[in-house]
Amino acid sequence: MNKLILKINFKNIAIIMMIAIFFIADRYLKYLAINRTPEPAIKLIGNIFSFNFTANYYMAFSLPFGGRALTALISLIIITLIFYIFYLILNKKNQFANIILLTVILFGAISNILDRILFGYVADYLELRYFTVFNLADVMISFGAIAVLFNVLISNRERSRQKNFVRGNGQ
Q: Is 138 a catalytic residue?
A: yes
Distances (CA, A) of 150 to 4, 101, 145, 146: 22, 11, 9, 6
Question: Of these residues, 33, 116, 138, 144, which one is catalytic?
Answer: 138
Strand-strand pairing, 132-134 and 49-56:
unpaired
Name the nearest CA neighbour of 112 among 146, 144, 87, 86. 144
Question: Of these residues, 27, 33, 53, 124, which one is catalytic?
Answer: 124
From the CA atom positions of the chain, what is the Rg in Å?
A: 20
Q: Please list the active-site residues.
A: 124, 138
